[in-house]
Amino acid sequence: MNHQIQPIVTLNNGMQMPLLGLGVYDMHAAEAETAIVKALETGYRLIDTATAYNNETEVGNAIRASAIPRSEIFVTTKVANPSQGYDLTLKAFDESFKKLNIEYIDLYLVHWPIKGKRKDTWRALEQLYLDKKVRAIGVANYLIPFLEELKDYASVVPVVNQVEFTAYLFLKDLMEYCNKQDIQLQAYSPIVRGRKNTDPKLVALAEKYHKTPVQMLLRWIIEHGVSAIPKSSNPKRIEENFNIFDFEISTEDMVKMDHFNENLRIVEDPMAML
């Protein structure tokens, strides 16, 4: 059991959410269940899944199997792209709800801002929220133009915007925009899928703090007040990724890491959907 204190934020609707969570993309069946049980034992209280990941059933199984009360776990899922639009989204939500089978879903996200569909999808999410079927609603892959457009028709402000965000893809303008609008930014692929672990400037900083390159990347995100949802199904790495609350990066080194930015994207650029 890990007793380190993890930061919790209050979302714009008053709900609380841990900043660090476990992403479960690319985890299948038994693998996902084992990883989530391990993560909950380690101290993670935020699990990020999606209908597109095909593991909502296993996510639900793991949560029900754990000794942690449901009320202490924050669960996010997302509407898949083929289910976007008003009616299909409502139906997709019911299916996710059944598969997860965990009393309630904390956060439901629009997975991608699909052209011609995203407005109706958001209307459906607002309906689910007004009907109290879900505790909070938000978006993913909404860069500033999508958020500006959303303002024209939304009556509920998203609580979270989940985007690709790392020291190598430092979306400073989006981070500042979300702070102003009281939307919690959440970083996906936060450790660049391990691809920068041998970058000499990152390794040098990690050595200075007696931490791993991945821990430096995660800590940099958290110190910016951004949520991070690294994925791992490996027990040691699940622990490593959580072990970031016993040190701080100095202001000077935060600035250094801010300059690691090289606009490096692992996942496709949402701007293609504008």
Segment interacting with ligand NAP, rule: CB under 6 A, options 59-67, 200-208, 232-240, 246-254: 232-240
Question: Which two tokens mark 64?
Answer: 């029900």
Dmax (CA) for the chain in angstroms is 53
CB of 240 to ligand NAP, least distance (A): 4
x/- map, 179-218, ligand NAP, by CB under 6 A: ---------xxxxxxx--x----------------x----
* Alpha-carbon gap, residue 235 to 42, rounded angstroms: 9
Q: Does 240 bind ligand NAP (CB under 6 A)?
A: yes
- Measured in whole angstroms, how far is the alpha carbon of residue 146 from the centre of its chain? 18
Question: Which residue has the closest beta carbon to ligand NAP?
Answer: 23
Distance from chain centroid for Cα 80: 15
Least gap, CB of 261 to ligand NAP (angstroms): 16
Q: Are 88 and 45 in contact (CB under 8 A)?
A: no
| Residue (48 or 85) nearer to ligand NAP, CB | 48
Angle, helices 144-153 vs 118-130, to 10°: value is: 60
H helices within the chain, ranges in order? 29-42, 56-65, 86-100, 118-130, 144-153, 172-181, 200-209, 213-223, 235-242, 251-258
Which of the residues 70 through 129 are near ligand NAP (CB under 6 A)?
111
Residue 53: closest CA among 26, 91, 74: 26
Of 115 and 130, CB closest to ligand NAP: 115
Residue closer to ligand NAP, measured from CB, 131 or 134: 134
Closest approach of Cβ 251 to ligand NAP, in Å? Answer: 25
Angle 251-258/200-209 helices, nearest 10 degrees? Answer: 160
Task: Say whether residue 140 binds ligand NAP (CB under 6 A).
Answer: yes
Residue 17 in the binding site for ligand NAP (CB under 6 A): no
Number of residues that bind ligand NAP (CB under 6 A): 27
Catalytic residue (one of 44, 53, 108, 188): 53
**In angstroms, how far is CA 205 from the centroid of its own chain?**
25
Q: How far is the CB of 154 from ligand NAP (least distance, A)?
A: 19
Query: In the numeric block, which tokens belong to residue 142?
Result: 């909404």
Binder among 153, 234, 246, 262 for ligand NAP (CB under 6 A) = 234
Query: Is 53 marked active-site?
Result: yes
Contact residues for ligand NAP (CB under 6 A)?
A: 23-25, 48, 111, 140-141, 162, 188-194, 197, 214, 229-234, 237, 240-241, 267
User: Catalytic positions, please?
Assistant: 53
